[in-house]
Amino acid sequence: MPGSAAVSSPKTDEEIAKQVQGGDVESFGILVSRYEGKMTRYARKFLFQGEDVKDMVQEVFLKAYINIQSFDTKRRFSPWLYRIAHNEFINAGRKKLSLPVFTFDLDALFPHLAAKETADQDMQGKEMRAMLDRYLGQVSSKYREPLVLYYFEEMDYREIAEILQIPVSTVGVRLTRGKQILRKIINHQNIS
Amino acid sequence: MDSQDQEKQVHESVLSAIKQGDIKMRPRWQFILRTMLAVVGLAILMLALIYLISLILFMMSETGAGFVPAFGSRGWLAFARSLPWLMILLAVAFIIVLEVLVRRYAFAYRRPLLYSMLGIVALSILSGVGVAGTLLHRRISNYAYQHRVPFFDQLYENVEEQQLPEIYPGQIVQLMQHSFLLEGRRGDTVEVLISPETMFSVGTQFATSDMVVVFGEPATGTIQAFGIRKLENHGWSGRHVRMMLK
């Protein structure tokens, strides 16, 4: 339009991923820039430290690049990348953090009613993040990951379900139980 | 090393690995091929499971084991003893493997595990019952004999040779006052003794050439029948056909 400043909105992750699929290697750098902070934080919440975090995050991006042609650009990019990170961190965690190789998950076996967040979600969110920062290491990995994805990565239930490949209702169950466990830990700390 | 330095390092090392060709993007066809192979693998596994279930049902029908629960608790006990447990365990293993493979797909992991598990069990059992109701196993059995197909010949031979304790399927060849002569699948004959305690459906009339399953205790040359079940439209497979061919 003449006389008006054209404001170009930044490209979405999915549009950039499509460019990478078409051979534009440089565009992958944009995705790395957008997500490396998030991936580093996610790795740290998995209790990895120091050089391990750097190596792990690097590996996530390399795997993402290798497999980018399997990404469906009609879907959201971030859950796809987080799924790669989840697999990478779980595999590394089995070696370095002695996570169990196989777990049978009763939560995902039966149907549950979907739990909903309450109205004071924001306040709870801030409190939860503060509590999680302090006590995250004491929560088992099964409940830690949905808590991290929900409160730190600000994913919704559906996205968390896609990343962890579990039913949406199970995400609600794990978040509720995770919060209960966290409260128990805090109460125990206060008493002692 | 602070966080910003670390991020810079990650960014640079990822891009330099790509540019130097240390890592390469996998082409799309590889993912399509992998998906197709996975679907074919799942289909083969599912078909194998359906075949296995239908074979178990065919075995139970051929040996007469599937008919004995009608004769009360003793019949149920004999039924439980006669089940091909190894094949049932193999079928369970197939179901578990299928469930593990199917869980990788969104249509399965978006729902509770119980649903996909029940879906696989229901689909395989219903299809197995459907296949067992066809002439497939009889035809394979006869074909295996005539053409000496490795493995299948042995498998179906075992089904026919199997003589379960207390369960005698066969054909009535001669009726007597309180007994009849039964010709077994191996061509051997045995006298089946009928007493007032012998259970069979009300109004059942036995005639020569009737196919029956006798549930009873063997003695020398005779069987004291606890129950007799007449089989409608039940043909012979394998051995009998072989005898006729000879």
pLDDT at B240 over 60: no
How many domains is chain B built from?
A: 2
Does any domain span residue B157? no
CA distances from A146 to A47, A113, A117, A176 (A): 14, 17, 14, 10
Q: Looking at residue B245, what is its pLDDT?
A: 40
Specify whether B123 is located in the same domain as B172: no
Does any domain span residue B155? no
Does any domain span residue B141? no
- pLDDT band at residue A113, thresholds of 50, 70 and 90? low
Which pair of tokens denotes residue A168? Answer: 């949406």
- pLDDT band at residue B6, thresholds of 50, 70 and 90? low
Does any domain span residue B241? yes
Q: Distance between CA atoms of B65 and A115, rounded to whole angstroms? A: 49
Taking the CA of residue B125 and the nearest CA in chain A, the distance in Å comes to 21
Q: What is the pLDDT of residues B183-215, one digit of tens each?
A: 987 788 899 999 888 888 777 788 888 899 999
The residue of chain B nearest to residue A59, with distances taken between CA atoms, is B14
> What CATH number is given to the structural domain containing B234?
2.40.50.140
CA distances from B222 to A160, B160, B187 (A): 69, 21, 15
Q: What is the pLDDT of residues A22-53, one digit of tens each?
A: 999 889 999 999 999 999 989 888 766 777 78
Nearest to B112 among A40, A67, A110 (CB): A110
Does any domain span residue B159? no
Specify whether B27 is located in the same domain as B105: yes
Q: What is the pLDDT of residues B74-101, one digit of tens each?
A: 999 999 999 999 999 999 999 999 999 9
Q: Do B10 and A170 touch (CB under 8 A)?
A: no
Specify whether B15 is located in the same domain as B115: yes
Does any domain span residue B152? no
Q: What is the pLDDT of residues A45-64, one digit of tens each?
A: 876 677 778 888 999 999 99
Mean pLDDT of B145-170: 79
Nearest to A69 among B14, B18, B31 (CB): B31
Q: How much is the mean pLDDT over chain B?
A: 86
pLDDT at B30 over 70: yes
Specify whether B32 is located in the same domain as B114: yes
Burial of B26 (0-12, 13-18, 19+ CB in 10 A): middle
Specify whether B180 is located in the same domain as B69: no
Q: Distance between CA atoms of B83 and B216, rounded to whole angstroms? A: 17
Residue pair B115/A170 in contact (Cβ under 8 Å)? The answer is no
Containing structural domain, residue B227: 164-245
Mean pLDDT of A139-143: 85
- B118 CB neighbours in chain A (<8 A) are none
Give the pTM: 0.79
Q: Do B26 and A29 touch (CB under 8 A)?
A: no
Nearest to A69 among B9, B14, B28 (CB): B28
The residue of chain B nearest to residue A106, with distances taken between CA atoms, is B113
Specify whether B185 is located in the same domain as B116: no
Specify whether B117 is located in the same domain as B194: no
What structural domains and CATH numbers belong to chain A?
Answer: 13-96 (1.10.1740.10), 112-191 (1.10.10.10)
Q: Distance between CA atoms of B31 and A69, rounded to whole angstroms? A: 8
Q: What is the pLDDT of residues A61-101, one digit of tens each?
A: 999 999 999 999 999 999 999 999 999 988 887 776 666 65
- How far, rounded to the nearest angstrom, does the alpha carbon of residue B70 sit from its chain's CA centroid? 21
Does any domain span residue B31? yes
Specify whether B180 is located in the same domain as B129: no
Specify whether B28 is located in the same domain as B85: yes
pLDDT at A121 over 80: no
Specify whether B206 is located in the same domain as B130: no
Specify whether B110 is located in the same domain as B175: no
Taking the CA of residue A7 and the nearest CA in chain B, the distance in Å comes to 28
